[in-house]
Chain A
């Protein structure tokens, strides 16, 4: 057994050595910094005010190019979300023009939005979106926070799966980092027209120009007219990333809450079953534990 362990460890160590060598060459992209999110962890919940601010950033800035076609207005009033009221959502939806039809005359027409409608897309179709944006359609926001990630590498990916120290916010962290990653290109790097240098974008050359700047979105003020949060790119990107996280997983709060109850129940049940099993097996002198029965033998 010992020999085999040594063999395995040696093998893994050799591979790691070869891996780290091959990963170093070529200019690599830095990992996004890990941010604090209210919705991370086993008891994580979305921050309603943050989601509302994030929605405002989406609406005023991002939605000019990015669709969010799987999210419906009504979702904004659903439990575990930004916490708008049904009335607010109705009024909000009515501000949008929705293409509907055909009517009885066979024509398409525009009508005010209803809560059941999805967010209308800024472009009529993907081709139009691509044509207006240098050949590549801006990605849809609906599940983008789950569609983005970055490589954590060995051994972190093992810890990321574990309870309490687990980490599943790679996508949001990446989005937040990307929005803050616009910098001057390093000397000697060629940035072709139509692309922009971004520290965190794989390959660094991103078609999207820096979308947010300080003071661009005016947030609602607090009771005394003071700003509640700073109006900075850092804050905007936090808020919109959190909003995208909710849009991608609107039932996250329900999922985590149910999970806690289910796991607690299963743990209690397995405890009971363990004692039942022990009692049952006592009738035949108890069960042998351990993987190698021979070890229980006293010669």
Chain B
């Protein structure tokens, strides 16, 4: 990339070390001198926010594991022990429980940002698919974690989801019994769910490393979707993106803290404060809010296997977006027709979430079916067709131009090792 300054070790020790393990240079080129498009808006800070949330979840999780007992007989009480007796245990647990929700808030904004600005298009397909894999791992981790307090929702959530897997033809029953470790959800189940819940965040971390690596190969997309052409289109990651990311993360933490301290149980479910009971199912069994759209899709189909296939397809289809979208323009800012469909898609997802919390009866089922139909149509019909027929709006010639317009006094210096000093002319 143009204007990409490299790390030059100064002291002898630094030189000695760098010639053996060039890790400082790696960090420098990835997080210091890495060129960042200068027109990124705050939706681009969610990557940093997500890394902060992943770290928060891992750290609070490790600390909670010091006090938690993953057994069917004692899990519920050990969580209450954390809440009541452990110093700041209530804080650690509320951070972790609400942290999961905040993680999903951030990841949904991140995903919709990618969809709106076409960040999935060439050359970022692999970067994007790694993101979908992280999302899948997050869902599995969140589900496993939700079973651990061993309340009614934990137990019945585990029962329902493992029964979903039993719908898989031929191997379904085997998978189910391997997950249960018994003839039903019980002590072996919670034990292995705890083990897997502890493992998966580190798998996420591994894929995050690949995700960031892929990002630094292709460079970041930006609100115009136009690639960086000269050093004037970009600024170095540090200090510009760093300070913006830190600022955004702290603002996000204000939001996060509000939930922890003032609405710690709002995003959970009251029934999960009732210890697991295999003979009573809660009246309305619903997953956590972040799964609700998929739950609505699952229930929209009156067939067990069909519902399961549709639900998994709803996630998997995300991975095909790079090839389903036929438009050559990345950013929806320049796609007047697609942009409308995008917002319709967002609305449909929100409504699906709301429907997922409603009982599957009457008008709700019909509405779920209509929304599910649109969800898939958006990918399978809208994305391919709109790209073919839409006339994109006129685009600026470069990132710099989109920022400054025709006023050269805002030209700025951009990347330190930038190329031509003259502001770009309007294209």
Contact = CB atoms under 8 A, between A and B. Distances in A.
Q: Do chains A and B touch in the complex (CB under 8 A)?
A: yes
Interface of A: 1, 3-5, 7-8, 11-12, 14-15, 17-19, 21-22, 42, 70, 75, 139-140, 142-144, 146-149, 154, 160-161, 163, 166, 168, 170-171, 202, 248-251, 254-256, 258-260, 262-263, 266-267, 269-270, 273-274, 276-277, 280-281, 283-294, 296-299
A70 B77 contact: yes
Contact of A15 (B247, B254, B351): B351
Nearest to B84: A250
A259 B257 contact: yes
Contacts of A12: 347, 351
A263 B363 contact: no
Contacts of B366: 18
Most buried by A among B247, B274, B339, B366: B247
Nearest to A149: B270
Contacts, number: 185
A292 B333 contact: yes
A277 to B, nearest CB: 5
Interface SS, B side? helix
A293 B91 contact: no
B339 A1 contact: yes
A58 to B, nearest CB: 17
Nearest to A145: B273
A19 to B, nearest CB: 6
Nearest to B361: A22
A283 B410 CA distance: 10
A4 B261 contact: no
Nearest to A258: B261
B235 A147 contact: no
A18 B41 contact: no
19 contacts: A1-B340, A4-B341, A15-B355, A15-B363, A22-B361, A70-B84, A146-B270, A163-B258, A166-B263, A251-B84, A263-B257, A276-B243, A283-B413, A288-B41, A288-B403, A290-B41, A291-B43, A294-B402, A298-B407
A284 B413 contact: yes
B363 A19 contact: yes
B194 to A, nearest CB: 21
A154 B354 contact: yes
B384 interface: no
Given A15-B351, A266-B257, A277 B244 contact: yes
A248 B347 contact: no
Contacts of A75: 84
A286 B403 CA distance: 10
B109 interface: no
A285 B347 contact: no
B271 A293 contact: no
A147 B263 contact: no
B340 A8 contact: no
4 nearest A-B pairs in the assembled complex, by CB-CB distance: A259-B261, A18-B363, A285-B412, A8-B347
Interface string B348-389: 100100110010011110110000000000000000000000
Contacts of B340: 1, 3-4, 7
A36 to B, nearest CB: 18
A251 B262 contact: no
A19 B357 CA distance: 12
B238 to A, nearest CB: 10
Nearest to A171: B270
B414 interface: yes
Given A8-B347, A270-B247, A291-B41, A148 B266 contact: no
Contacts of B341: 4
Given A70-B80, A260-B261, 14 more contacts: A4-B341, A7-B347, A18-B364, A22-B364, A154-B354, A168-B266, A256-B262, A263-B261, A270-B247, A274-B247, A281-B243, A281-B244, A288-B38, A290-B41
A154 B273 CA distance: 24
B402 to A, nearest CB: 4
Given A15-B355, A75-B84, A163 B414 contact: no
Contacts of A274: 247
Contacts of A267: 254
B224 A273 contact: no
Contacts of B258: 163, 259, 263
Contacts of A277: 243-244, 247
Nearest to A14: B367
A91 to B, nearest CB: 23
Given A139-B274, A143-B80, A147-B273, A8 B261 contact: no
Nearest to A286: B410
Interface string B274-297: 110000000100000000000000
A242 B273 CA distance: 17
Contacts of B134: none
Given A161-B263, A270-B251, A285-B410, A19 B270 contact: no
Nearest to B265: A146
B343 A4 contact: yes
A280 B90 contact: no
Contact of A263 (B223, B254, B413): B254
In this complex, the member of A170, A202, A259 whose beta carbon has the largest number of chain B beta carbons within 10 angstroms is A259
Contact of B264 (A19, A255, A262, A286): A255
Contacts of A19: 358, 363-364
A278 to B, nearest CB: 9
